[in-house]
């Protein structure tokens, strides 16, 4: 039987490598059933034409897989996204076309939670200010600044969404003695309370939180969820941390809230525009810590993500449901077999 074809947009920086070298980790699962095809494309039109006859597409960078690309597909059954966020794919168009979209929601959750907690701690201990004062030799005015800051023990952390990363963030915050509350209308109160977290409404989250950590996907519902109205309801001493997606926070409203001291600070790994303009006012604010969308980056992240997306696509190409499906309503409508994994120490006939 002829092998399937999986299209990946060819990264410019890797064009001197062979396919086997470039995609060795994805091919661990895909090699027996599929060939990976480089798509040399610099424009959406070139990409759409390049993937027209692919059985699958893998993406985590580059050109967006929008409705125009999806409508141009002749054979594709699955789009594998090598990240938690899937905003580079038009999910509604993919679902309408009967395409399964997979992602890797549980590969680097601990790393992102570490980064979010690090940003929180930087703001809690006013690290940017302390570093500047130490470098300037201003040792005697630093302690009075921190003497006005409450310790973390007993402070309230509000989680916006309660998915995998938020679960990990809750564990970290509780280790510091923080009280944790969470708003997520798509997670049951039993699951939230089972993690030792108090479920609350969105207005309660805004009003009660000393720190808010954002962990939601970006979609129509969460776009600019934190805007002028939200910041007006937060404490003047509150800090917001975002390691999810930039557009969840209305950046202009955030800048205004910080300038007018409606809130006390922000820790941001993601921004509305990436990379941002260097004259972005956020860069000049000492109560803001910005990192360049690196929360998930460790030695493990990229290799394991590539292996996982290869396994997910391979499952679908073998006619099975993937382990993670972003648009599960499409699964009953496609010719895929639902499967149940068996323990590693037991054969299928035991």
Q: What is the pLDDT of residues 214-253, one digit of tens each?
A: 999 888 999 999 999 999 999 999 999 999 999 999 999 9
Share of residues in the chain with pLDDT > 90 (%): 79
Which 3 state secondary structure label does DSSP give 3? coil
pLDDT score of 14: 60
Residue 247 φ/ψ, nearest 5 degrees = -65, -5
Q: What pLDDT, on a 0 to 100 scale, did the predictor assign at position 349? A: 38
How many Cα atoms are found within 13 Å in the side-chain-facing hemisphere of 7? 27
Q: Respond yes or no: is residue 245 known to be catalytic.
A: yes
Alpha-carbon distance of 265 to 141, in angstroms, equals 20
Q: Which fold has domain 109-290?
A: Rossmann fold (3.40.50)
For residue 224, indicate whether it is catalytic: no
Within this chain, domains 4-106+299-333 and 109-290 share the same CATH topology: yes
pLDDT attached to residue 345: 44
Are 85 and 109 in contact, with CB atoms under 8 Å apart?
Answer: no
Q: Which long-range contacts (CB under 8 A, 24 or more apart) does 269-272 make?
A: 269/115, 269/116, 269/119, 269/242, 269/243, 269/293, 269/294, 269/295, 270/242, 270/243, 270/244, 270/245, 270/246, 271/246, 272/246, 272/247
Tell me the mean pLDDT in the region 295-302: 90
Residue 68 CA: distances (Å) to CA of 33, 47, 65, 101? 28, 10, 8, 16
Catalytic residue among 64, 171, 208, 293: 293
Active-site option among 167, 215, 245, 311: 245
In the prediction, which pLDDT does 86 show? Answer: 87
Name the β-bridge partners of 179.
Answer: 156
Assess whether 311 carries a catalytic annotation: no
pLDDT band at 264 (very low <50, low <70, confident <90, very high): very high
The 3-state secondary structure of 255-267 reads HHHHHCCCCCEEE
**CATH class belonging to 4-106+299-333:** alpha beta
Q: What's the predicted TM-score (pTM) here?
A: 0.84
Label the pairing between strands 100-102 and 156-160: unpaired
DSSP one-letter string for 244-258: S-GGGB-HHHHHHHH
Contact 218, 244 (CB under 8 A): yes
For residue 116, give every residue at least 6 positions away whose Cβ sits within 8 Å of its Cβ, in sequence order, or none. 165, 169, 213, 215, 241, 243, 267, 269, 295
Tokens encoding 60: 């985590």
pLDDT range class, residue 344, cuts 50, 70, 90: very low
pLDDT beyond 90 at 348: no
- Name the pLDDT band for 337 (thresholds 50, 70, 90): confident
The arithmetic mean of pLDDT across residues 318-337, rounded, is: 90
Which of the residues 20, 236, 260, 274 is marked catalytic?
274
Peptide bond into 275 cis (omega under 30): yes
Domain residue ranges in the chain: 4-106+299-333, 109-290
């Amino acid at each position: 039987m002829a092998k399937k074809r999986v299209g990946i947009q060819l990264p410019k920086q890797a064009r001197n490598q062979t396919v086997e070298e470039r995609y060795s980790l994805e091919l661990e699962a895909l090699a027996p059933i599929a060939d990976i095809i480089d798509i040399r494309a610099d424009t959406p039109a070139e990409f759409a034409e390049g993937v027209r006859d692919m059985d699958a597409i893998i993406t985590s960078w580059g050109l967006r897989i929008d409705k125009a690309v999806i409508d141009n597909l002749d054979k594709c059954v699955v789009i594998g996204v090598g990240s938690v966020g899937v905003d580079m794919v038009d999910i509604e168009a993919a679902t309408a076309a009967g395409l399964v979209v997979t992602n890797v929601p549980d590969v680097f959750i601990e790393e992102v939670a570490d980064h979010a907690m690090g940003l929180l701690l930087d703001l809690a201990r006013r690290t940017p200010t302390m570093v500047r004062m130490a470098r300037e030799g201003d040792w005697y005015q630093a302690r009075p600044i921190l003497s006005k800051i409450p310790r973390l023990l007993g402070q309230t952390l509000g989680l916006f969404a309660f998915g995998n990363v938020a679960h990990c963030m809750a564990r970290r915050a509780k280790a510091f003695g923080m009280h944790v509350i969470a708003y997520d209308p798509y997670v049951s109160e039993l699951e939230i309370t089972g993690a030792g977290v108090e479920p609350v409404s969105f207005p309660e989250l805004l009003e009660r939180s000393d720190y808010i950590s954002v962990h939601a996907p970006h979609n129509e519902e969460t776009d600019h969820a934190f805007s002028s109205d939200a910041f007006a309801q937060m404490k003047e001493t509150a800090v917001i941390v975002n390691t999810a997606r930039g557009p969840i926070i209305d950046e202009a409203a955030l800048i205004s809230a910080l300038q007018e001291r409606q809130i006390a600070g922000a820790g941001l790994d993601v921004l509305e525009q990436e990379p941002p303009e260097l004259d972005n006012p956020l860069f000049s604010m000492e109560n803001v810590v910005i990192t360049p969308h690196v929360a998930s980056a460790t030695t493990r992240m990229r290799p394991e993500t590539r292996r996982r997306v290869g396994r997910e696509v391979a499952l679908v190409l073998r006619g099975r449901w993937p382990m993670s499906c972003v648009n599960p309503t499409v699964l009953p409508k496609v010719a895929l077999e639902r499967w149940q994994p068996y323990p590693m120490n037991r054969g299928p006939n035991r």
